[in-house]
Structure 1
């Protein structure tokens, strides 16, 4: 469980770094960035590159915590 949580935390940190720096996940515009950029308000469009990393990190941590309870 510790390894999964650590991987999830690293993914969240990568997502936060991308969001704070305004960088995209892909070097050129890709469908993942475009998808999140489409749903975000104009003031938050620079954060679109880090949101997929954040979601994946939270999913990994949730899977590790909920999977351990069973």
Structure 2
């Protein structure tokens, strides 16, 4: 469980860094960045590169904590 939380936290931190630096998941354009650019409002399009990684990281941490309770 500690490994899942650590990997999830690392994903959140890397995604946050991508969001702050307006980085992208892919070098060129890729469907993940394009999809999140379409879903986000115009002011938040710079977050499209890191948001998927942040969401996956949060999901991993929540899953590990929920599974621990059972």
Whether the TM-score (by the shorter chain) exceeds 0.5 is yes
2:38 matched to 1:38? Answer: yes
Deviates most, 7-16 or 38-47: 38-47
Mapping 1:1-70, distance limit 5 Å: 1-70=1-70
Runs of 4+ more than 3 Å apart: none
Q: Name stretches of at least 5 consecutive residues in structure 1 with no aligned partner.
A: none
Q: Offset of 1:31 from its aligned partner?
A: 0.6
Q: What is the TM-score with the length of structure 2 in the denominator? A: 0.96
Number of aligned residues? 70
CA-atom RMSD, angstroms?
A: 0.6
TM-score (norm 1): 0.96
Provide structure 2 residue ranges, at least 5 long, that are not aligned to the other structure: none
